[in-house]
């Protein structure tokens, strides 16, 4: 694979970049996070930063915005070398960042959030051009000019084509609008470079289109936009150029128009591409219908969450659960894994009826559930990788019977190696790992309990292609070894790649179930759109 950097001409009339980072290197302890990475950002362009988790994207952004000090290399803005000591210093130079998680105050109005710390004062009109200390002191004691603040916010919102009332309370708006208000705040401080870090992860299709419109307006006005996303279709829809990183090094800078998606994937992940191809070629495992299921649920339901559902899980099979957001996928997973109590129906494991009142009951029956929200329900950021990995096993033993040190060390090292967790340091704090590596640790947490049934709710959401490939390969391997896996994902391609059987959910109902032989994405979408329970389910298990 070529690693020679391709330097295409910029797609705008600008001949000089606003920002140029040259040979940037950063080391954390013994880890070389960035090794001689360069980046050029031109006005009037959308530039995507590509690479799997751990490739160095976030580190490069934080180096540019003053969060991390740079060990070597230079950052120039309009040809002048800068050493940003803080994000405020970078912002003063016209570089702003909007992160995936909106960092605004929901109890304040839209305008108050947009102009927080820069509110116009009533005395400003009287002071006019008065300068120096007089303006600073008198302006500070004057009350906030709410009308002027709303007018200014309205002007910025209009500029971005956003029909939002600046006097409305931010928390009354959906997360998509709050994300756009965060962008509007950055624009209001005259950002010449706007960095959008995973801005679409919580948006639906229409909301993403609105965001595209905002980005295009900023681009056309001459702003350099950095777009970071794991969604390749979005990168190709909105970006002009891309810089590709792998393992903290620059791979290539390329024109998006001249880079096929397959080429991009190869540059980003290399060897993992073969893994995806092998999974695509898998034949579904079909179980004889007379085989005893590992788990059988009949009429399982919970008021307001899941209508009465029948489902059988077999050893050595992956059951993929498809459906739109709110279809009941997660509610089903939580009932199967004991996170919620069922109001109706029965659960049998090896033909013996069981009642799951808590996840501990499920774990005792060798049923493990990984939640869709790993940050809220899984990751304990202040504990080490080893501590996070051992939580479930320790819970099954009780806190008065600690895991022997030698056993603990051997298990942690086994799964760090088996799952390729990086960094391979059991003492690293969980919060410092990338999303993909955090997800691997959470999988290891349950694998050490040796479950018979593993329920995975969105295990690859928000992680890069390379980590997805590794986790998908792991799921296939677990099934081949005899484990029963329930795999839930919003990405239909992923479900069809992995599943032996596919169940489709809509409006809290299981509406279809079929063997995954010749099933296409269009087939699943048509079933969801029809919204009717299939009468002719395959008799194959």
The C-alpha atoms of residue 419 and residue 441 are separated, in whole angstroms, by 8
Q: What is the pLDDT of residue 138?
A: 46
pLDDT band at 276 (very low <50, low <70, confident <90, very high): low
Residue 354 parent element (H or E): strand 352-354
Greater confidence (72 vs 134) lies with 72
**Closest-CA residue to 454 (of 337, 356, 341, 375):** 337
The C-alpha atoms of residue 100 and residue 7 are separated, in whole angstroms, by 29
At residue 240, does pLDDT exceed 90? Answer: yes
At residue 413, does pLDDT exceed 90? Answer: yes
DSSP 419-488: TT-SS--TTSBGGGS-HHHHHHHHHHHHHTT--SEEEEESTTTT--HHHHHHHHHHHHHHHHTT-EEEEE
DSSP 106-149: TTSBHHHHHTTT---BTHHHHHTT--HHHHHHHHHHSPB-HHHH
Buried b (16+ CB within 10 A) or exposed e, 292-305: ebbbbbeebbbeeb
At residue 24, does pLDDT exceed 90? Answer: yes
Tell me the CB-side half-sphere exposure of residue 33, using CA atoms within 13 A.
Answer: 21
At residue 40, does pLDDT exceed 90? Answer: yes
Number of helices (H) and strands (E) in the chain: give both, helices first.
20, 20
Domains and CATH numbers, the chain: 1-94+194-199+224-269 (3.40.50.300), 290-366+457-541 (3.40.50.300), 375-450 (no CATH)
pLDDT band at 126 (very low <50, low <70, confident <90, very high): low
The C-alpha atoms of residue 214 and residue 207 are separated, in whole angstroms, by 11
The C-alpha atoms of residue 304 and residue 298 are separated, in whole angstroms, by 18
**Closest-CA residue to 201 (of 215, 186, 193, 211):** 211
pLDDT band at 8 (very low <50, low <70, confident <90, very high): very low
Mean pLDDT across the chain: 85
Q: Of the segments 290-304, 375-389, 448-462, which one has the largest average pLDDT value?
A: 290-304
Q: What is the pLDDT of residue 13?
A: 53
Q: What is the mean pLDDT of residues 107-117?
A: 90
Q: Residues 132-162: pLDDT tens digits?
A: 454 444 444 557 888 999 999 999 898 888 8
pLDDT band at 490 (very low <50, low <70, confident <90, very high): confident
Q: What is the mean pLDDT of residues 55-84?
A: 93
At residue 532, does pLDDT exceed 80? Answer: no
Q: What is the pLDDT of residue 540?
A: 43
Percent with pLDDT over 90 in the chain: 48
Angle subtended at Cα 133 by Cα 131 and Cα 139, rounded to the nearest 5 degrees:
75
Q: Residues 469-488: pLDDT tens digits?
A: 888 888 999 999 999 999 99
The C-alpha atoms of residue 212 and residue 230 are separated, in whole angstroms, by 16
The C-alpha atoms of residue 431 and residue 41 are separated, in whole angstroms, by 30
* Residue 214 buriedness (CB in 10 A; 0-12 / 13-18 / 19+): buried
Greater confidence (439 vs 41) lies with 41
């Amino acid at each position: 694979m070529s690693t020679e950097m391709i330097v295409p001409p910029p797609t705008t009339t600008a001949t000089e970049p606003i920002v140029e980072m040259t040979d940037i290197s950063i080391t954390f302890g013994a880890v070389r996070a960035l090794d001689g990475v360069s980046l050029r950002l031109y006005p009037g362009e959308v530039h995507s930063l590509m690479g799997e988790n751990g490739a160095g994207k976030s580190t490069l952004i934080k180096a540019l915005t003053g969060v991390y000090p740079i060990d070597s290399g230079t950052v120039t803005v309009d040809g002048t070398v800068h050493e940003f000591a803080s994000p405020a210093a970078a912002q003063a130079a016209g570089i702003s960042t909007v992160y995936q998680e909106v960092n605004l105050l929901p109890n304040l109005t839209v305008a108050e959030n947009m102009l927080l710390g820069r509110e116009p004062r009533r005395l400003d009109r009287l002071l006019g051009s008065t300068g120096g200390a007089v303006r600073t002191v008198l302006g500070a004691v004057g009350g906030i000019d709410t009308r002027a603040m709303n007018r200014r916010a309205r002007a910025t919102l209009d500029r971005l084509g956003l029909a939002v009332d600046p006097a409305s309370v931010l928390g009354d708006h959906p997360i998509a609008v709050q994300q756009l208000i965060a962008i509007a705040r950055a624009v209001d401080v005259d950002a010449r470079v706007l960095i959008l870090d995973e801005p679409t992860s919580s948006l639906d299709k229409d909301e993403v289109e609105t965001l595209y419109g905002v980005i295009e307006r900023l681009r056309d006005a001459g702003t350099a936009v950095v777009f970071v996303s794991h969604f390749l279709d979005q990168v190709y829809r909105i970006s002009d150029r891309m810089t590709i990183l792998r393992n903290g090094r620059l791979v290539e800078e390329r024109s998006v128009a001249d880079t096929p998606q397959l080429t991009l994937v190869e540059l980003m992940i290399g060897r993992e591409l073969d893994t995806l191809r092998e999974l695509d070629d898998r034949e579904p495992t079909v179980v004889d219908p007379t085989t005893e299921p590992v788990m059988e649920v009949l009429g399982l339901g919970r008021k307001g969450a899941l209508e009465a559902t029948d489902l059988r899980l077999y050893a050595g099979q992956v059951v993929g659960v498809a459906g739109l957001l709110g279809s009941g996928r997660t509610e089903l997973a939580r009932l199967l894994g004991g996170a919620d109590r069922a109001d109706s129906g029965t659960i049998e494991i090896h033909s013996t009826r069981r009642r799951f009142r808590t996840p501990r009951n499920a774990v005792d029956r060798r049923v493990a559930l990984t939640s869709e929200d790993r940050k809220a329900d899984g990751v304990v950021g202040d504990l080490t990788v080893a501590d996070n990995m051992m939580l479930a096993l320790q819970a099954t033993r009780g806190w008065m019977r600690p895991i022997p040190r030698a056993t603990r060390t051997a298990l942690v090292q086994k799964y760090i190696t088996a799952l390729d967790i990086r960094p391979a340091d059991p003492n690293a704090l969980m919060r410092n790992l990338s999303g993909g590596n955090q997800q691997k640790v959470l999988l290891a947490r349950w694998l050490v309990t040796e479950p018979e049934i593993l329920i995975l709710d969105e295990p690859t959401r928000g992680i890069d292609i390379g980590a997805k490939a590794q986790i998908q390969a792991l799921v296939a391997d677990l099934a081949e070894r005899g484990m029963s896996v329930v795999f839930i994902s919003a990405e239909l391609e992923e479900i069809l790649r992995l599943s032996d059987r596919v169940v489709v959910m809509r409006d809290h109902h299981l509406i279809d179930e079929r063997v995954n032989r010749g099933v296409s994405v269009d087939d699943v979408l048509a079933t969801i759109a029809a919204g009717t329970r299939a009468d002719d389910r395959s008799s194959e298990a």
